[in-house]
Amino acid sequence: MSDPPLTIVVASANQHKVDEIVAILEPLVVPRVAIVPRPLEIGEIEETGDSLEANAWLKATAVAEVTGLPAVADDTGLEVDALNGAPGVYSARYAGAHASDEENVTKLLAALDGVTDRTARFRTAAVVVFPGGRSISTSGTIEGRIGLDRQGRSGFGYDPVFVPDGGSRTFAELSAQDKHAISHRGRAFRALAVALLSSLDDRETE
């Protein structure tokens, strides 16, 4: 008789991000892992860390402590070279604490008005935190550039203005499948799936 799957809670409250995490991670870890959304009663978790890794760990740890289950989280930043790496860890709140995606993109395009060097990268830190504090972490990065204006209707965040290297379309112009195949989040969570399954194998042989 096989062991029941390990239940892991997605710590994010951002439904767009939850959908992407589940779409990338679930096919790689089922049936050994079951992924569930975080309970609605968990309030907002402040991202007070000074790095993407710290923020991902804060979110996962908070949810693991409340639920008593392992929790998975990520934090993602857009780093623009002409802006000295900004918005970086502040990407989600670049235009203010409760800024919308539209407001963040508008501020970014204004900051790059007339700038010819538009090289940038998306970076994701992903982590699973287990009750008791044990954790597994990975990361993923994709290089690209910021377009002159918005293109496409898919995705979220800065997707309408980010063009990955080697391509001519923004993330918002790609299908979800094509985006996940090359994206920062796709790379981080594929690596996390490998590390998570390896940790389960190790524990089963102890």
The whole-angstrom distance between residue 156's C-alpha and the CA centroid of its chain comes to 12
How high does pLDDT run on average in the chain? 94
Residue 45 pLDDT class (50, 70, 90 cuts): confident
Residues catalogued as catalytic: 75
Residue 116 lies in a domain: yes
- Looking at the structure of the chain, the number of domains it has is 1
Q: Token pair for residue 161?
A: 């203005």
Over residues 150-157, mean pLDDT:
95
Residue 100 pLDDT class (50, 70, 90 cuts): very high
3-state class (DSSP) for residue 135: strand
Residue 41 pLDDT class (50, 70, 90 cuts): confident
Q: What is the pLDDT of residues 7-19, one digit of tens each?
A: 999 999 888 899 9
Residue 190, φ and ψ in degrees, nearest 5: -65, -40
Q: Domain range spanning residue 38?
A: 6-205
Residue 191 pLDDT class (50, 70, 90 cuts): very high
Over residues 131-143, mean pLDDT:
95
Residue 1 pLDDT class (50, 70, 90 cuts): very low
Instruction: Give pLDDT, residue 148.
Output: 97
Residue 14 lies in a domain: yes
Residue 201 lies in a domain: yes
- Residue 52's CB is within 10 A of a number of other CB atoms, namely 24
Nearest to 76 by CA among 16, 132, 36, 163: 16
- Residue 184's CB is within 10 A of a number of other CB atoms, namely 26
Percent of the chain with pLDDT over 90: 84
CB of 95 closer than 8 Å to CB of 104:
yes
Residue 137 lies in a domain: yes
Instruction: Give pLDDT, residue 40.
Output: 84
Residue 1 lies in a domain: no
Question: Which one-letter amino acid corresponds to residue 135?
Answer: S
Q: At what angle do helices 184-205 and 15-29 cross, to 10 degrees?
A: 50
Question: What pTM was estimated for this model as a whole?
Answer: 0.92
Residue 44 lies in a domain: yes
- Where residue 74 sits, what CATH number does that domain have? 3.90.950.10
Kindly give the residue spans of alpha helices, DSSP state H, lying in the chain: 15-29, 52-67, 101-111, 176-182, 184-205
What b/e sequence results for 158-180 when a residue is b if at least 16 CB atoms lie within 10 Å of its CB, and e otherwise? bbbbbbbeeeeebbbbbeeeebb
Lowest model confidence (mean pLDDT) among 42-56, 62-76, 159-173, 175-189: 42-56
